[in-house]
Amino acid sequence: MERCPHCRARIKDKPICPRCGADLSFLLIVEAQAEEYTQKTMQHLLAGDLQRAQECVAAAVFLHATEFNRVLMGFVHTVISKQCEDC
């Protein structure tokens, strides 16, 4: 997270906003969990486990719908669709 979602102040690595004092610790934890799911998605893709990749990317998007996570979700769906066509 680069900016406080409440006041838009720049955030460093501290969980408290320097401008408005908002406690951002929970949001930072959720953001970190989303990143873990994104990494797991890519690991499952590399391993060929499309079902687990789909589950992980859905969790990543649910937690933090970044542009990258949305594109990754589309990619996973495309790969799964393509695999189903080949069956």
Tell me, yes or no, whether 18 lies in a domain.
no
Tell me, yes or no, whether 42 lies in a domain.
yes
Tell me, yes or no, whether 4 lies in a domain.
no
Q: What is the pLDDT of residue 87?
A: 63
pLDDT interval class at 82 (50, 70, 90) = confident
Domain with 76 in it: 25-86
Query: Where do the H-state alpha helices sit in the chain?
Result: 25-47, 50-63, 67-86
CB atoms within 10 A of CB 47: 10
Tell me, yes or no, whether 45 lies in a domain.
yes
Amino acid at 56: C
Indicate the number of domains in the chain.
Answer: 1
Tell me, yes or no, whether 68 lies in a domain.
yes
Backbone angles phi, psi at 16, to 5 degrees: -115, 130
Contact 9, 18 (CB under 8 A): yes
Contact 41, 57 (CB under 8 A): yes
Q: What is the pLDDT of residue 3?
A: 93
Tens of pLDDT, residue by residue over 28-48, are 999 999 999 999 999 999 999
Tens of pLDDT, residue by residue over 12-30, are 878 999 999 999 999 999 9
pTM: 0.85
